[in-house]
Every structure is written in C-alpha cells, then in structure tokens.
Structure 1
C-alpha cells in the first residue's frame, strides 16, 4: 500500500509513513489531515529536526496518461504512485467549437466583429493550449509534491518517436524539415499502436511478428500505415495474400484493421512536441533532472518482470533504477478536469445566447466542484452524502454521489472534505 505523506508543524516534509502508523497518529490526536488528495498528515506537536531520506520524483510522460512515482533511491521502494489523465484532446475540441461559433457569428447579419490578424504573432517556443495543458498538469503535481515530500531529484523519460522516419523509412538528409530525431524502433511503436496483440486473432502474450498488410511481393511498402503485428500462425496463414482476400469472410475485422492502420500519429506528435518544454519546466525547479530513453525504461521493467502500467513505467525511468519494491502500491488515479469555463454567456449549437452565468463563484464558502460531506438529520433527505457539490446562491445545493445526484441539500449541512483544484480523484 502507498505510504502516507507527512509534514511537521512548520510544513516541512518528513519521511512518508505506513498507513497503520498514520491511523495511530490520528487516533492519538497527534496529527491532523492536511490534504485528502494526496493524503497528507500534519503533526500537531513540534519535533526536533530529524534527518529524512531523499526521494526521487519520476515521470513517464504520455499523450493521454502520464505515470508519476515517488521512489526511495537507497531502498528502491516506491512510496507513492499516481496516473494522471490529461484533457488535451478535450481542450482541442473546445477551441474548435469556439472557433466555429465565432466564424458563424461574423457571417450572420449581427454586430460585425472583424477578424484580427495583426496581433497574432506567436512568441518563440509557443505551443497550442491543448499541448501546454499536459505540461501544466505535470508542473502542478511536481510543485505540489515538492512541498509534501523530501524530493531531491527528478527523472523524466525523454520519449523520442521519429514520426517522419516511421512513416517513410527511406527518408534521409535534407528531407527532414525539422532535423533528424533519434527514433524509437518501428517494433516498439507497433507494439504500442496494436496493443501488444495479434491484429488478426487478438491473441496476447505470444511472440509477435511484423506483418505487411499489403504484401511486399505485391508492391507493399515499409510505411507504418502498411504494418501491423501478427502471431506466427496468422502470419504463415496469410502469407503473401492481399488482406482483402485473407479476411473476405470477416468484413468487420478487415474494416477495423484498415482504419487502425491509417490512424494519424497524433499521440506520438503530442509527446514529441512537449518533451523539451517539460524538461525546461522541470529544470526551473532547481532540482537535478535525470533523463532516460523509452528503451531504457522497458529494459529496467522487463529485467525485473514487472507489469506494464503507467506508474510502473515511471518508476523504471532512468539509470537511477536498480531494484524496485512495488508490492502493495495502489496508485492514485488523477483526472484533469479544469476549473470550469470563463464563458459568461452560454450558447446553443448555432451560437445564439441561451443562458447567462453569474460572476460570483463562492456561495456560503463553497464553490461548485468542492468535495463535501453532508449530514442531513431530518426531512425527506435524511442521511449522509459525500460527493461533488453544485452550488446555488439560494443555499440549496446538489451533491453528486456514487449512487446518483441528490438535490435540495442545505449549505448548513455541508462540510468541506477537499476543495476543487481542477482534478478528479479515484483509486
């Protein structure tokens, strides 16, 4: 089980402790809960300064999910782990929707709003908001954990996918527009793309071979869009047949494989675009930053026979990984949700205004999205409820619980558990 983070009365981080020891401190009233997520205790009595064991914060960046792990370098014990789910693609969809609404509004016979082109120069190193959100999410958790744990170093997997070389193996010299990238092997990329299973029979945990969808003998190329993974049995059975002939009795599988093969490299591009920006942000913490390749991460993981998960990959990043103790570690699942929208005027799908938001955010000390506990002692809603709150200026709140949404709860019955910080939490 993950250990509990502890800080002293002056908010200086101490060594993480076992959950049983944390329960004993709470029972004896020697500590109080400082944060629910990540679960952190603050001591009530001052103690003489004690030496603490340094921890290393390890990061395995991903386009959709990033693995995080706190590791004791001396013992190899993983004391805390998390998997952070990003919202970059949701931000992209929101920006597309906003752009479409503005374009339609400019073309209607309404108040004219001329497009602006003179003030749109982008600064050097600019990245779109959908990509920067990934960097900001990781930066937020690095800064937060540096305040709660004795972190003395950071390790980042500097993932390198050579997207141009993957798509065109014959590319060379001046054909690179952005310079040569040190790339992943094609096999590693295909393992990620096809979920480590045979494309034809979906079998897992067997040796997989690289298969040409359109056979080389019939003019097929080595482009990534023409490659998939197949077990030995399926590869021999297909031989040099066209895939349309091989799967003529399975039209659904044929359609799925052809659409999967032509998928754009959006995830790969997102990781490539943000890796050096993230490295720059991590170096700004003034902690020593270690970088490692994806191949080294996989070598460290397979040498110790560990499962492939985001947080285990994070623990295996870099040369600092010798032996790992991951027994009983339960990762915290983080999902970036944002802090809501700043849009004051809501619109329908055609861009016409339908509703208006208030400027006031706090109602009776509560904000929409806070995790609260409500104890109702009388009336139709008698009971205890824990969940996210939806606030109203009338003082009648709604609480979203695991079993459903409960409406009409008075603010007087609610107490804070965790204030809204733009993330959802689960185990």
Structure 2
C-alpha cells in the first residue's frame, strides 16, 4: 500500500506515514490535504522533526519511466511509493511532423518566393529533439517534485553499464566478458520487449521462452538481434534447423508478422540511449548523491527475487539495495500520464494549411483552468448527480466536463476543484 506524504507547517518534508495514520490526523483536525496526486497532507501544529532517509529509484524508458521510493527498515528495504510515468514523445513528434508538412505545403505553392529556412539555424551543445527533451523534463520534474514531498537522501538510476566483471577479475578480456553471471541479460531483455514476451510462432504467454534463430546457424544465420526471436520449447524443437519459410508454409500471416518484426526499427532503444546522459545531467542539478546502474543488473535483481515484470518494480530493483527489496502486499503504482500544459498553436488548420478556427480563447476563467480535476454536483437535468473529471474552460459560463464514461457541459457554480492542472493526468 502506498504511503502518504507528510509536510510540516513550513512545507518541509517529513517521513511518509501510513494511510491509517493520515486518516486519524485528518479526522482529528491536526492535518489538512494539500495535494491529491500524489496524496499529501500538511500538519497544522508541527515544525521540523527527525526523518528517515529515502532513496529515489528511476528506470527511464522510451514510453514509460518507473519511479520508486525505497526506505531502509529493520527487516530490509521496502517500497513506500511507486509510480509509472507515461511520456508524450510520440504525440509531440506527430504534432511537429504535422506542422512541418503544413509549412512545406504553403511554401511550395505558386506564391512569392520564400527562401528555405533549414540552413540558417544553429543548435546549442547537447541539443535534443523536443520529443526526447520532454522525456528528460518529465523525469527531472517528478524527481524535483518528490524531493519537495519526501526526505530523499540519494538517487539511483538505471542508465550506465558498469564493468562489474573487471572489478572481480582484472585479468578478464575478450570473449570472457560473455561468460559472467549477467551474460546475455541485456540481449534477452531487448528481445522480451520487442516480441511482447510471447512465442513468435504460436503466441504462447506466461511460459518459459528461448532465444531462437530465425535463420538457423547451420544455414548461415548470425547471432545479430535482427535474426533472433523468442520461441517456446515445443515450437523451437519442432522448427529445428528448418528455414522459417518452410516451417510456417501453412501459416503465411504468422510468417509475414515475424519477417516484419525482424525489420522493426530500434527507435525506442535509440531514444533511451540518446536521453541516458541527459537525464543523469538533469538529476545532478538536484544536488543529491546519484549512482548509475545497468539494466542487466536490474533484471538480475528482479528475477532473483521472482518479482513480475513492471516498470515500477524494475525501478525498485535498481542499484545495490534492489537485490533485497521488499514490496508491500497488493501495492499498486500511481499511473501518471504526461499531457502537456496546453498548446502554443493559435488556431487549427485545414488540410490545405489555412486557418479553420478563430483565435485561441482563454484557458482560465472564474478560478478554474483547462485541465483541472473537479467534482461536479449537478442538481437537475439529464446529467444530475455527482461527477468527477477534467474540465475545458470556455469564454462563456459553460465548461466542458470529461469523465470516464461521458462528456457534457456544466456551469462553474456546480464545480469544486480537486486537483489543479499541472501537465499530467492521474
């Protein structure tokens, strides 16, 4: 179960408490809710106090980053908070591609001459594309936010591969690197993610999977990742040394899917590699001790403790303390999705690149802002009752409320703010 963050009356972080303790403080009037996501209370009559250090662990990914707060207790390290942060790099890339297409189409028409603008721009050192920079900013933003809510003492990040085998054996060299305890972990983890942890031939899940050569080595196949897939033991033995075209002659759809999967680009791996050092550089600005660990070590810690695959569990298993970390029974991670803070686009375009809407309207009105999570109490009408969702502010006193199952208009006098818009959905 997730712990509740606690602040003193000067908004300084204290040690997180249990939900039962938080409820008791709220009922007794000794605390008040200051933030809903993540849930945080502030004490009314306490300043300062002794705290227990907490370690922030991060497992950065191309689409989702795992976040875990681990605290040392008498019976070992335990996860007191977990979250999964979903990035919006794909939506940013799509928006930029659409804008680029509209601008190029306008410049290619029979209008006055416009000089090309792609040769007169410079980029600063360490520049990253906006779709990648957003990942760095999201991780840094949440690390900084958790630092304000919890007494974090140090940070552990899964990013850099340390040469641990050379530490144990200074004479190791060449192919001997492939014979260590973590041999093959990096490649197997990549294949598991690429093929969705299922057999490529029969689609079996939750069974032991083996690395399988699509073009057998006996027929000249290589050990490159582009020639490897996952297979269950029966399919692997049945295929043997036959060519994949011969083995799947009666299943052309499966054959086509495998051949397409082998050519799948490594853009996710490239995104992680490109942002690896940028995330580390951004986290160093928090002025906390920081250590970097390899993905192979993380998986070794997780599989050694027989934990299921999840981003937040991978984050908990990062680092030295991840070898013996304890998960709370029934613990569920907070789901965080980056949504952005509005759009800079002043109006929408049609397919020809001309404006099709008016100028951008206000985003804040009557104390509410677009993206706020609110509670609505509608007294009558078709949507009478209590609802919770996000609002979109308009220039008139009728806001658009979006809940899990419906969308309708509601007057602001029926709304109560629960959580102010901060660029994320929960």
> What's the TM-score once normalised by structure 1's chain length?
0.90
State the shift of 1:341 in Å: 1.1
Instruction: Report if the CA contact (8 A) 2:185-2:299 is conserved.
Output: no
Aligned ranges 1:367-406 → 2 under 5 Å: 367-406=369-408
State the shift of 1:224 in Å: 1.8
1:41 matched to 2:72? The reply is: no
Q: Which residue of 1 aligns with 2:78?
A: 77
Note closer, same or farther for the CA distance 1:33–1:113 as it changes in structure 2 (3 Å cut): farther
Q: Which residue of 2 aligns with 1:275?
A: 276
Q: What secondary structure is seen at the aligned counterpart in 1 of 2:286? A: coil
Q: Which residue of 1 aligns with 2:347?
A: 345
State the shift of 1:183 in Å: 9.6
Q: Report the Cα distance in structure 2 between the residues aligned to 1:196 and 1:84, rounded to whole angstroms.
A: 21
Which deviates the most, 187-196 or 126-135? 187-196
Note closer, same or farther for the CA distance 1:45–1:348 as it changes in structure 2 (3 Å cut): same
Q: Report the Cα distance in structure 2 between the residues aligned to 1:375 and 1:201, rounded to whole angstroms.
A: 51
State the shift of 1:12 in Å: 0.6
Note closer, same or farther for the CA distance 1:301–1:195 as it changes in structure 2 (3 Å cut): same
Q: Which residue of 2 aligns with 1:177?
A: none
Coordinate RMSD, CA, aligned: 2.0
Q: What secondary structure is seen at the aligned counterpart in 2 of 1:393? A: coil
Which deviates the most, 367-376 or 318-327? 318-327
Q: Report the Cα distance in structure 1 between the residues aligned to 2:326 and 2:406, rounded to whole angstroms.
A: 39
Instruction: Report if the CA contact (8 A) 2:161-2:293 is conserved.
Output: no
Q: What secondary structure is seen at the aligned counterpart in 2 of 1:138? A: helix
Which deviates the most, 350-359 or 111-120? 111-120
Q: Report the Cα distance in structure 1 between the residues aligned to 2:377 and 2:206, rounded to whole angstroms.
A: 50
Aligned ranges 1:16-55 → 2 under 5 Å: 16-47=16-47, 49-55=48-54
Note closer, same or farther for the CA distance 1:403–1:208 as it changes in structure 2 (3 Å cut): closer
Aligned ranges 1:300-379 → 2 under 5 Å: 300-327=301-328, 328-358=330-360, 360-379=362-381
Aligned ranges 1:133-212 → 2 under 5 Å: 133-158=134-159, 185-212=186-213
Instruction: Report if the CA contact (8 A) 1:337-1:422 is conserved.
Output: yes
Q: Which residue of 2 aligns with 1:179?
A: none
Note closer, same or farther for the CA distance 1:344–1:322 as it changes in structure 2 (3 Å cut): same
State the shift of 1:353 in Å: 1.0
> Is there any run of 5+ residues in structure 2 with no aligned partner, and where?
163-182
State the shift of 1:159 in Å: 5.3
Q: Report the Cα distance in structure 1 between the residues aligned to 2:398 and 2:206, rounded to whole angstroms.
A: 54
Q: What secondary structure is seen at the aligned counterpart in 1 of 2:55? A: strand
Instruction: Report if the CA contact (8 A) 1:159-1:271 is conserved.
Output: no
Deviation per CA, 1:90-134: give whole Å up to 9, x if none. Answer: 111111111111000111234654322454121111111111110
State the shift of 1:185 in Å: 4.0
> What's the TM-score once normalised by structure 2's chain length?
0.90
State the shift of 1:66 in Å: 0.5
Q: Report the Cα distance in structure 2 between the residues aligned to 1:320 and 1:113, rounded to whole angstroms.
A: 59
Which deviates the most, 147-156 or 242-251? 242-251
State the shift of 1:86 in Å: 0.6
Instruction: Report if the CA contact (8 A) 1:159-1:272 is conserved.
Output: no
State the shift of 1:333 in Å: 0.3
Q: Report the Cα distance in structure 2 between the residues aligned to 1:85 and 1:91, rounded to whole angstroms.
A: 13
1:65 matched to 2:67? The reply is: no
Q: Which residue of 1 aligns with 2:9?
A: 9
Q: Report the Cα distance in structure 2 between the residues aligned to 1:185 and 1:117, rounded to whole angstroms.
A: 39
Deviation per CA, 1:276-331: give whole Å up to 9, x if none. Answer: 11111111111000111111111211222211110010011011334222123211
Q: Report the Cα distance in structure 1 between the residues aligned to 2:411 and 2:361, rounded to whole angstroms.
A: 22
Q: Which residue of 1 aligns with 2:173?
A: none
Deviation per CA, 1:322-370: give whole Å up to 9, x if none. Answer: 4222123211001111112111121012212100233532111211111
Q: What secondary structure is seen at the aligned counterpart in 1 of 2:386? A: strand
Q: Which residue of 2 aligns with 1:235?
A: 236
State the shift of 1:382 in Å: 2.9
Instruction: Report if the CA contact (8 A) 2:362-2:393 is conserved.
Output: no
Q: Which residue of 2 aligns with 1:290?
A: 291
Instruction: Report if the CA contact (8 A) 1:391-1:398 is conserved.
Output: yes
Which deviates the most, 295-304 or 310-319? 295-304
Q: Which residue of 1 aligns with 2:415?
A: 414
Q: Report the Cα distance in structure 2 between the residues aligned to 1:78 and 1:156, rounded to whole angstroms.
A: 16
Q: Report the Cα distance in structure 1 between the residues aligned to 2:322 and 2:118, rounded to whole angstroms.
A: 50
State the shift of 1:403 in Å: 2.3
